[in-house]
Amino acid sequence: MPRCFETASFFCSFEGNSHIMRYLTIIVIFLISFSSLAQEDHPYIPETDPLVIEKLDQWQDLKFGLLMHWGTYSQWGIVESWSLCSEDEPWCTRKMKNYVDYCREYEKLKNTFNPTGFDPEQWARAAKEAGMKYVVFTTKHHDGFCMFDTRQTDYRITDAGCPFSVNPEANVAKEIFDAFREEGFWTGAYFSKPDWHCNDYWAEEWATPDRNVNYSIEKYPGRWQKYCDFTYNQIEELMSDYGEMDILWLDGGWVAPQNGQDINMAGIVEMARRHQPGLIVVDRAVGGKYENYRTPEQHIPGELLDYPWETCMTMAGSWSYVPNDRYKPTRKIIHLLADIVSKGGNYLLNIGPGPDGTWHDTAYIRLKEIGSWMALNGEAIYGSRPITPSGYENIRFTSNPDGTIYLIYLAGEDEVLMPETVFVDGFQPSKGSVIELLGKKGKLKWSQEGTGFRIEIPASMRKNPPCNYAWTFKVYMFNEDN
């Protein structure tokens, strides 16, 4: 991620100091808003490849996916990669004062990384039960450590210097992609365009004042070309050696021509789609031709957008594993999903595996509870499209191509019983339309009222709701022509 939002680990060190927490939260909210506005300042350029257009349309039907940030950094329970960056920002904070010593110790994490509890099949089953349809995995983050068997560097999980290399499942990315495909998932490879371990990006001859390449590309074009070739070759490995790939999710948006760091995206995408026809490419936070969909981070746009998009968000507080991290309540996650889908987006929910290669028990609990809700209400989510308006107060609207409209009522934390009536404003069903409550049999009485309508809920349903957290009303719109 563009780590101005990688703050959870840093926050943990200030637990109990509410003034500092409040101040830092304000900073983060500002940075999130600024980043989102910067992304949206660039005009969205629609794709012209018919295979990609078709795949994008299919992807918009999936709605709910899993993102995983995982690497050697999980052993320290810190923000992924960013502590290597010497920018004076809270998400770049280190526990050691000496920067050089810290980087040396960080690199040694490869020598102790041994996640023997790794079980991708268990992850895939749990994600499927939750109703997730696609997975995006961090094959390489900004620190340059590769969670796949690249031939371009020895800074990888399959190198002999890593204890896990002798494990039959050492090629972690391949095992994850295979396990999730077996459960019917689409697969996406997260890949960082900057690589802070590569000597052709952060050259050892010079200091590293910030996240950018630390030498003059104009002065040393040959060195930059070596880095472009290195990146091209790694992405080609992922696109040719790891089975069918649906999404190439590129992070590190500062590596871009407008910042003087032209990595030859045209050549990379042409090669990637030669191996994977129709591949969706997400050159995130950059804008331009190779950003097939946009990825607002840790927030939901306030209005409908006229291009494909996906909110990427953490299930807990941090993207990567942090001890004693706090997970969002199931109610919150379901409400966020309904809000995102009502505005036409997808929801990519992140879980950070621990250093032993396992998820926290809470993650499994959340997924199971989400799955129970999705099993009953999924028809209002999958394959849906937004309508205008997208909602009214605590109700979110979605629709299906056949004209059916769904009203997802987001129940309050203390709202155990359903209300006697539900008023909806913004549109009116035509006379003769039928309204039902998903999970219950029978038609509900309703009447037009002002510019909206009111649904009556019988006592038997009120006292025994079909599910927790949110209730879905299905509106069969009557059409006299049918």
Per-residue pLDDT at 368 exceeds 80: yes
**8 Å CB contact between 163 and 197:** no
> Average pLDDT in the 463-468 region?
96
Find, among 167, 184, 78, the residue nearest to 119 by Cα: 167
> Average pLDDT in the 278-299 region?
95
**In the prediction, which pLDDT does 411 show?**
98
Two tokens, residue 403 = 């004209």
**8 Å CB contact between 311 and 348:** yes
> Average pLDDT in the 451-459 region?
97
CA–CA dist 79, 349 (Å, integer): 17
**In the prediction, which pLDDT does 275 show?**
98
**In the prediction, which pLDDT does 183 show?**
98
Buried b (16+ CB within 10 A) or exposed e, 457-477: beeebeeebebebbbbbbbbb
Give the model's confidence band at 481: pLDDT under 50 very low, under 70 low, under 90 confident, else very high: low
Give the model's confidence band at 478: pLDDT under 50 very low, under 70 low, under 90 confident, else very high: confident
Dump pLDDT digits (tens) for 123-155. Answer: 999 999 999 999 999 999 999 999 999 999 999
**In the prediction, which pLDDT does 153 show?**
98
SS3 content of the chain, % helix, strand, coil (to 5): 35, 20, 50
Dump pLDDT digits (tens) for 165-206. Answer: 999 999 999 999 999 999 999 999 999 999 999 999 999 999
Domains of the chain, with CATH numbers?
Answer: 8-380 (3.20.20.80), 391-476 (2.60.40.1180)
Per-residue pLDDT at 15 exceeds 90: no
- Residue 168 CB contacts under 8 Å (≥ 6 apart), including other chains: none
CA–CA dist 352, 329 (Å, integer): 16
**8 Å CB contact between 165 and 171:** no
> Average pLDDT in the 330-351 region?
98
Per-residue pLDDT at 447 exceeds 80: yes
**DSSP label of 146:** B
**Between 330-342 and 361-377, two packed helices, what is the crossing angle to 10 degrees?**
50
More confident residue, 471 or 88: 471
Out of 13-27, 31-45, 136-150, least confident range: 13-27
Give the model's confidence band at 40: pLDDT under 50 very low, under 70 low, under 90 confident, else very high: low
**In the prediction, which pLDDT does 23 show?**
37
**In the prediction, which pLDDT does 41 show?**
65
Dump pLDDT digits (tens) for 255-270. Answer: 999 999 999 999 999 9
pTM greater than 0.95: no
Strands of the 64-68 sheet, one edge to the other: 280-283, 247-251, 186-192, 134-140, 64-68, 346-351, 310-314
Dump pLDDT digits (tens) for 378-410. Answer: 999 999 999 999 999 999 999 999 999 999 999
**In the prediction, which pLDDT does 480 show?**
58
More confident residue, 324 or 8: 324
Find, among 64, 158, 165, 68, the residue nearest to 120 by Cα: 68
Dump pLDDT digits (tens) for 59-101. Answer: 999 999 999 999 999 999 999 999 999 998 888 989 888 999 9
Mean pLDDT over the full length of the chain: 91
DSSP 171-238: -HHHHHHHHHHHTT-EEEEEEES--TT-TTTS-TTS---SSS-SS-TTT-HHHHHHHHHHHHHHHHHH
CA–CA dist 304, 339 (Å, integer): 11
**In the prediction, which pLDDT does 42 show?**
78
Two tokens, residue 480 = 């006299």
**DSSP label of 288:** B
